[in-house]
Structure 1
Amino acid sequence: MEQSFDVVVAGGGLAGVCAAIAAARGGAKTCLVHERPVLGGVASSEMRVTVHGAAHNHAFARETGIISEMLSEERRRNHEDINENGWTNSVFDQVLYDWCQREPNLTLHLNTTVLAVRMEGGGQAEVEPHTERGYYLREACAPSRRIEALVARTLSAEVELVLEAPLFVDCTGDAVVADRAGCEWRMGSESRDEHDEPHASVTASTATMGSSIHIRAKDVGRDAPFTAPPWAVRHDDASYFYDQGRVPSDPRGGYWWIEIGVPWHTIFDNETIRHELTRHALGVWDWMKNRDPLTMERCRTYALDFVGQVPGKRESRRVRGRHWIVESDLQERRSFPDAVAHGGWGVDLHTPGGLLAATSEPAAAENYREDSRYAGKTYLKPYGIPLRALMARDVDNLFLAGRCISTTRAALGSVRVMGTTAVMGQAVGTAAAMLRRRGMTLPDLADDAAAGGPATGELQQRLVRDGVHLPDVRNTDPGDLARTASVTASSTQPSVGLSPQDHAPFEGLIGVPPRDRFDLDVTLGQHVWCSGRLDRVELCLDNDLAEPVQVPVRLVRVEGIWDNRKGGSEVLAEAALTAGPGASRWVAWDVDQQIAPGWLRIETVEPAPGVAWRAARGVLPGHFGVRHLSATHWRDVHGSFAFRLSPEQAAFEPAEVLSGTARPQASPSTWRSDPGRGLPQWLELTWPQEQRVGRVELTFPGTLLKDVHGTPPFYVEPQTARDYVVEADGVEVLRVTGNTSWRRSHELDRPVDARALRVLVLATNGDPAASLVEVRCYAL
């Protein structure tokens, strides 16, 4: 069968799914070809790796866009917790399949393997890789070639496909398309001095991170004996687990450290690796069930329920693109004119060899200490990913997304996680559709991207409009009528702080608060928004000692919510607070200053043993706590400490919906009504003259505080409006009931001419306040 499309995406992991959906939504006739029977790749029920991303380390940094749509829907439908690798079930497979089937421009070929790449002018790459530079290197066969078609085979149907298109996207993970097309790629580690990367190997190496399979066990309520087969690995040494970072902490499984690579090649020896992983996985369970004194009783009624048989890869080929990402790009949070995605996972490089090495990856070997030297060195603030790193350099019609993008191995340690690869996929899918509409070529777009030109600006604005967060990019869409409006609301929540008893947003998430209190054995801090005058700050402290304790504190200005420098950009005030003996004592600090509006942080300056700062029940948008990471930096706790501010601060004003970004950043970017006033509540846009409005786009606060692991089964974000009405000049033009989505785009039955547009929230999914983070209006 020969089929023609505008865009062909190879690889149906999260990068590929998001790329294909984005291209199809952009109007491109799109094909997604995937070699497995279910979508999701490493995140599917076949491999069961849960989705991680920037929100693991940073409050309000979760990836949004298509990936957030699908993860939110999975949580709404799924009866099962998410905790660790091995716990994904078929509900997520079905959500991904559902999202693809909903797109009329998308053709899906499952169980279909790409066998070859047909190039314009004929021929196929046959050059072998070499290791002259210490790692596997395949140099380009011929620069500036074009792919004509992919040749694929649907094994379950004995069908061979020729998939033609002017644009292709390689999301295969192993860079199968780029390799067959003759692109330059690397595999292994660059030497430390090649790019001056602190996390690179001292010398170049062909070693890679290993692959994993996962196990899952189920409590059957009675004794469940287990006998390992004779070919399974037998473990007898407790130190192998407890001293080397392989702690079997949960009897249900989920052990990412069941990992093997070196001495085998993660591509060519994949079947050998699968068998070796199976031997070890059964051996791990045998140890836990039959010999480990710490787990035998806990595992007594647990029966093995799942053993993965598709290894999940962390690393293989990395294709040379039109920008080569190096570790300093991430460490320095370099600003790219063509940023189209964001990341924020740490530099996470596992020990080559995995189970065969002396220890698992370093963080685990340190018991995941958040204040260790290693943790401080690997921590990254959210950063931008340039479009040029998602474009093959040697083929003029090939985009890249996923772990095969143009990056060094050290930088791969961060960009490889699936939340990040998913937003890469949406970026290139959107870019491919834009090229088809504009009649541009990929090299044209690459030149435009390097200069931050108009086409790149259009792409960035489209991504932002579609819910993607891009660092340093705001809504400047000239077609958005809301940007010229004035905003008022029926009420606004006063920002006075939070106590340990106050109900607050996000408290329904798992681990919010992370604990009831945080000991001041290490220093702590709290982000707060100040709108002008600040007379008094109060902290809710416990003093477990019999005598008062002095707690040195300071108030500092910070540049946005992810400024994690101790001391911020400026120290505004300092004091020594006296914490008297007892629990939940409010300690006052008379600041008495007029302060320019912006984010502040209340910091303790040195440890105060015996004293603890009480946690709040929830988190106000942008108002979260941090704890000691290193001598110079903080890390988020994904919760809030108890604090009070006087006078009340204007943090959640109606105009925040026009901040240009749909999450707390330079300001809270959130309107919240006064929860004491009940519902309904409204927010209204007004213009001096009538505007023709045909489309209204609303964004409610999503589950941005934490990654998907913090969301329980059947979860719907309480801040999302369930029932709401849109009125134009007092006349109802839209009514929605039963909403569970954080983003809604509504095309009105017919455009209206109006000077006022009101969003009336009748009911939420649990929050007592109405809340919005962005409103957009368009003529069409």
Structure 2
Amino acid sequence: MLTADYVAQRELKLEERSADLVVTGGGLSGVCAAITAARAGLKVILVQDRPVLGGNSSSEVRLWVLGATSHMGNNNRWAREGGLVDEILVENMYRNPEGNPLIFDTILLDKVVAEKNIQLLLNTAVYQVDKSSADIISSLTAFCSQNSTQYLLQAPLFCDCSGDGIVGFLSGAAFRMGAEAKEEFDEKFAPTEAYGELLGHSLYFYSKDTGKPVKYIAPDFALDDITKIPRFKSFNAQEFGCKLWWIEYGGRLDTVHDTEQIKWELWKVVYGTWNYIKNSGNFPEAENLALEWVGTIPGKRESRRFEGDYMLNQQDVVNQNTHFDAVAYGGWSIDLHPADGVFSEKPGCNQWHSKGIYQIPYRCLYSKNIKNLFLAGRIISASHVAFASTRVMATSAYVAQAVGVAAKICKDRSIYPADIIKDNSLAVLQKELLKSGQYIPGIALHDDADLVQSAKIHASSELVINAMDADTQYLPLEIATAQLIPLAEGECPRIVFNAEADEETQLKVELRTSLKIGNFTPDNTIASTVFYLKKGNNTLMLNFGYEQSNAAYVFIMFGKNPRVKLQFTGQRITGMLSVFNLVNKNVSNYGRQTQTEDIGVEEFEFWCPQRRPWGLNLALNFKPGLDVFRVDNIRNGIDRPTVQPNAWAASYDDASPKLTLEWEEAQSIGTIHLIFDTDYDHPMETVLIHHPESVMPFCVRNYTISDESGQLIYEKKGNYQTRNIIILANPVKTKKLIIHMEHPSALVPAALFAVRCYA
């Protein structure tokens, strides 16, 4: 007999919470959207269905964070994403140069819990969307498995960063899944049905050396015939983690609802692979290796893509189309994978690069039919082909930062996301993004509130590069090498260099530029010369007689000749870089991009830097010297090298570098922004790559700020971050600010991209 206790239906504990913005999904995109909005003053709820933050970058999946820099394997110079993404990556570099994924978890948690405006709900999955009308979301309902609590989350604005787009899907937002036909967007690279319509999931493993023999007995479900994997001979005992990104499956299944099935198939492959490495006898070096970790949830690449007021397409990526509403950029290749993944006979990926970074418009970042729904992460409005580039984490998170700022504007003006364009708020959005460190290609910051714009600026010195000849060594020209040189408008200087020849030989030198201003693809040959070298040392001069009509970088290119050694220098200067005609198979870079059929991409050479401690600059003398590091650069509104270094740098022989800002009338200053150089060319991968330093060599570590009477206002020791935002407890009233800096080292002069002051 049933008692009333059994008949009655119990209810879960219910908590109602409200905010200005609810962000669903705690991957890197959700983290960046939430923190950016919170720092702008919004009350934010961040809902994450996993126990840690970071999504594919977390310790649960362990994929490295990458974006436009593409492992330094493309021609996108100084392209690492700025703002909060940069802050996180630089912080991780400082704390975690070894690439420990558990440490990266803690960095993301630290960043979120430091924001008092964020309510963080971990292990909490959204499963219901309620609407006040057909196109307005009113609340979300979510469930936390750990405390058996339901949450009713209410807000005027919502952002879906969930990867699969759970909020967009349940709300009725228009979406797509699978590849579009070539004809819809005239995309020549749109895949055929044979190649597949979706990218699959991946799952990784880690191994470790125990110092003694370890046996391995595979589970019964492990793949027992490794030859079912066409690339099985690529497995080895050295590679693990996301270096085995091509252990992929699921592109022919429903990558939302079949995820558990896909996971099991990947487990079979992973455990079968380890069985092959340990027990096939082909890898005696694996005797002491143990299986340390296997992922329990797969890293997803593709599922739903939602429709905004514009859909990014292949032409936008390849042609680097400009958009009036640009708020971010991408630069990863168009990176499509065969739908059969690890079981495909085809290469694991098919990457095609553009010649430079491309703009991402704001119209891709909100739903076209749900008025109060922002989109961020990999679900933004893009075709399948364009998505193949925008989907990577640093790009996805960069987009999410734009959403965080846009949400603040919507709250302040009581408008919906699409109204930012309609009511002329776009300029405000772009300005606030630029102030936050969000570089937008082709747009400079113009900020009337910045007191530096009206100041007289004096520097103790300005670097003029007459010679880069300190700490030199001769290295052979085993690979074609070039020096990127920033030139102002006018005549190219004469360049003197030393070459040491093992025998009589020839050396070809070219002067090249980029056809598109702001690119770093040397596709325009201006001049070429051949030097006939005698055995031994040769002192040579280049005099191309080239007149440049605008500020831009040029390439001084030295052809490959192993019989010749060039002189390189240990001097490193902001905005100065050597590049090489390198091969990087990880990103389908074989020295030159060549298409075998017309798929709508361009053919060009790759010229990429070497990672430190290599990648030394060429030792060159300039007549006249390079004079591009003038102090007025600190207020030009661009905080990274583009067509110029965009930085002030002090002379090497300036023992006490300083900047002085002076006004005719005393100014009340409450906030000071200083933007330093943390090497935007370094991709700062978060796992597996062991980086040679924890602080970038260009970054000013120690500085002080004083007022007109010499009274110390602020002092910083041990800086390693790009953006230093100094909020004074008591605003200072002064006619002068004096910023004293120390050179980072004897080989690296002090440099600064920007100073901004606000009342």
Partner residue, 1:120: 132
Asked whether the equivalents of residues 495 and 648 of structure 1 are also in contact (C-alpha less than 8 Å), the reply is: yes
Task: Determine if the alignment matches structure 1 residue 250 to structure 2 residue 238.
Answer: yes
Asked whether the equivalents of residues 191 and 204 of structure 1 are also in contact (C-alpha less than 8 Å), the reply is: no
Partner residue, 2:407: 432
Q: Which moved more, 1:756-765 or 1:213-222?
A: 756-765
Looking at structure 2, the residues matched to 26 and 490 of structure 1 have their Cα atoms a distance apart, in angstroms, of: 36
Structure 1 residue 642, shift from structure 2 partner:
1.2
Task: Determine if the alignment matches structure 1 residue 473 to structure 2 residue 443.
Answer: yes
Task: Determine if the alignment matches structure 1 residue 225 to structure 2 residue 215.
Answer: yes
Partner residue, 1:150: 140
Q: Is the partner of 1:95 in helix, strand or coil?
A: helix
The aligned runs of 1:759-774 (5 Å cut-off) are 759-762=739-742, 764=744, 768-774=748-754
The aligned runs of 1:95-494 (5 Å cut-off) are 95-121=107-133, 145-202=135-192, 207-237=197-227, 240-241=230-231, 246-248=234-236, 250-254=238-242, 255-291=244-280, 293=282, 296-363=283-350, 377-448=352-423, 453=424, 455-494=425-464
Question: For 1:150-182, what per-residue CA distance to the aligned partner results, in whole angstroms no more than 9, with x for missing partners?
Answer: 110011111001100000000000011000000
Structure 1 residue 462, shift from structure 2 partner:
0.8
* Equivalent position amino acid for 1:18 in 2: C
Looking at structure 2, the residues matched to 446 and 604 of structure 1 have their Cα atoms a distance apart, in angstroms, of: 45
Looking at structure 2, the residues matched to 701 and 176 of structure 1 have their Cα atoms a distance apart, in angstroms, of: 39
Partner residue, 1:7: 21
Task: Determine if the alignment matches structure 1 residue 81 to structure 2 residue 98.
Answer: yes
Long gaps (5+) in structure 2: 1-14, 582-590, 595-602, 610-614
Looking at structure 2, the residues matched to 402 and 149 of structure 1 have their Cα atoms a distance apart, in angstroms, of: 21
Q: 1:578 aligns with which of 518, 532, 539?
A: 532
Q: Is the partner of 1:348 in helix, strand or coil?
A: strand
Asked whether the equivalents of residues 75 and 713 of structure 1 are also in contact (C-alpha less than 8 Å), the reply is: no
Q: Is the partner of 1:180 in helix, strand or coil?
A: helix
Task: Determine if the alignment matches structure 1 residue 589 to structure 2 residue 535.
Answer: no
Distance 1:559 1:266, change over 3 A: closer
Looking at structure 1, the residues matched to 45 and 292 of structure 2 have their Cα atoms a distance apart, in angstroms, of: 35
* Equivalent position amino acid for 2:532 in 1: T
Q: Is the partner of 1:298 in helix, strand or coil?
A: helix
Partner residue, 1:132: none
Distance 1:312 1:96, change over 3 A: same
Looking at structure 2, the residues matched to 234 and 516 of structure 1 have their Cα atoms a distance apart, in angstroms, of: 49
Q: Is the partner of 2:369 in helix, strand or coil?
A: coil
Distance 1:700 1:275, change over 3 A: same
Partner residue, 2:654: 677
* Equivalent position amino acid for 1:177 in 2: V
Asked whether the equivalents of residues 27 and 105 of structure 1 are also in contact (C-alpha less than 8 Å), the reply is: yes
Partner residue, 2:588: none
Partner residue, 2:6: none
Q: Is the partner of 2:623 in helix, strand or coil?
A: strand
Distance 1:383 1:96, change over 3 A: same
Looking at structure 2, the residues matched to 496 and 233 of structure 1 have their Cα atoms a distance apart, in angstroms, of: 63
Asked whether the equivalents of residues 377 and 396 of structure 2 are also in contact (C-alpha less than 8 Å), the reply is: yes
Task: Determine if the alignment matches structure 1 residue 654 to structure 2 residue 611.
Answer: no
Distance 1:695 1:604, change over 3 A: closer
Asked whether the equivalents of residues 504 and 532 of structure 2 are also in contact (C-alpha less than 8 Å), the reply is: no
Partner residue, 1:64: 82
Question: For 1:42-71, what per-residue CA distance to the aligned partner results, in whole angstroms no more than 9, with x for missing partners?
Answer: 000000001011112322100111111112
Question: For 1:371-394, what per-residue CA distance to the aligned partner results, in whole angstroms no more than 9, with x for missing partners?
Answer: xxxx6x433511111111001001
Q: Is the partner of 2:69 in helix, strand or coil?
A: helix
Asked whether the equivalents of residues 64 and 468 of structure 1 are also in contact (C-alpha less than 8 Å), the reply is: yes
Structure 1 residue 438, shift from structure 2 partner:
2.1
Partner residue, 2:604: 633
Asked whether the equivalents of residues 512 and 522 of structure 2 are also in contact (C-alpha less than 8 Å), the reply is: no
Asked whether the equivalents of residues 228 and 343 of structure 2 are also in contact (C-alpha less than 8 Å), the reply is: no
Q: Is the partner of 1:712 in helix, strand or coil?
A: coil
Q: Is the partner of 2:682 in helix, strand or coil?
A: coil
* Equivalent position amino acid for 1:442 in 2: P
Structure 1 residue 703, shift from structure 2 partner:
3.0
Distance 1:24 1:285, change over 3 A: same
Structure 1 residue 241, shift from structure 2 partner:
2.9
Q: 1:536 aligns with which of 471, 494, 498?
A: 494
Q: Is the partner of 1:199 in helix, strand or coil?
A: coil
Q: Is the partner of 1:750 in helix, strand or coil?
A: strand
Partner residue, 1:695: 671
Distance 1:263 1:751, change over 3 A: closer
Looking at structure 2, the residues matched to 553 and 418 of structure 1 have their Cα atoms a distance apart, in angstroms, of: 37
Question: For 1:127-147, what per-residue CA distance to the aligned partner results, in whole angstroms no more than 9, with x for missing partners?
Answer: xxxxxxxxxxxxxxx6xx000
Structure 1 residue 534, shift from structure 2 partner:
4.2
Partner residue, 1:509: none
Q: Which moved more, 1:614-623 or 1:193-202?
A: 614-623
Structure 1 residue 471, shift from structure 2 partner:
0.7
* TM-score, normalisation: structure 1: 0.85
Looking at structure 2, the residues matched to 606 and 703 of structure 1 have their Cα atoms a distance apart, in angstroms, of: 27
Distance 1:412 1:518, change over 3 A: farther
Distance 1:605 1:752, change over 3 A: closer
Structure 1 residue 346, shift from structure 2 partner:
0.5
Distance 1:420 1:517, change over 3 A: farther
Q: 1:720 aligns with which of 691, 699, 711?
A: 699
Partner residue, 1:553: 510
* Equivalent position amino acid for 1:478 in 2: D
* Equivalent position amino acid for 2:98 in 1: D
Looking at structure 1, the residues matched to 145 and 619 of structure 2 have their Cα atoms a distance apart, in angstroms, of: 61
Q: Is the partner of 1:379 in helix, strand or coil?
A: coil
Structure 1 residue 595, shift from structure 2 partner:
5.1
Distance 1:2 1:239, change over 3 A: closer
Distance 1:543 1:116, change over 3 A: farther
Partner residue, 1:45: 59
Asked whether the equivalents of residues 274 and 310 of structure 1 are also in contact (C-alpha less than 8 Å), the reply is: yes
Q: Which moved more, 1:312-321 or 1:65-74?
A: 65-74
Asked whether the equivalents of residues 555 and 600 of structure 1 are also in contact (C-alpha less than 8 Å), the reply is: no
* Equivalent position amino acid for 1:633 in 2: F
Distance 1:766 1:42, change over 3 A: farther
Q: 1:91 aligns with which of 99, 103, 106?
A: 103
Looking at structure 2, the residues matched to 177 and 703 of structure 1 have their Cα atoms a distance apart, in angstroms, of: 37
Structure 1 residue 525, shift from structure 2 partner:
3.5
Asked whether the equivalents of residues 53 and 419 of structure 1 are also in contact (C-alpha less than 8 Å), the reply is: yes
Structure 1 residue 640, shift from structure 2 partner:
5.4
Asked whether the equivalents of residues 554 and 605 of structure 1 are also in contact (C-alpha less than 8 Å), the reply is: no
Distance 1:400 1:19, change over 3 A: same
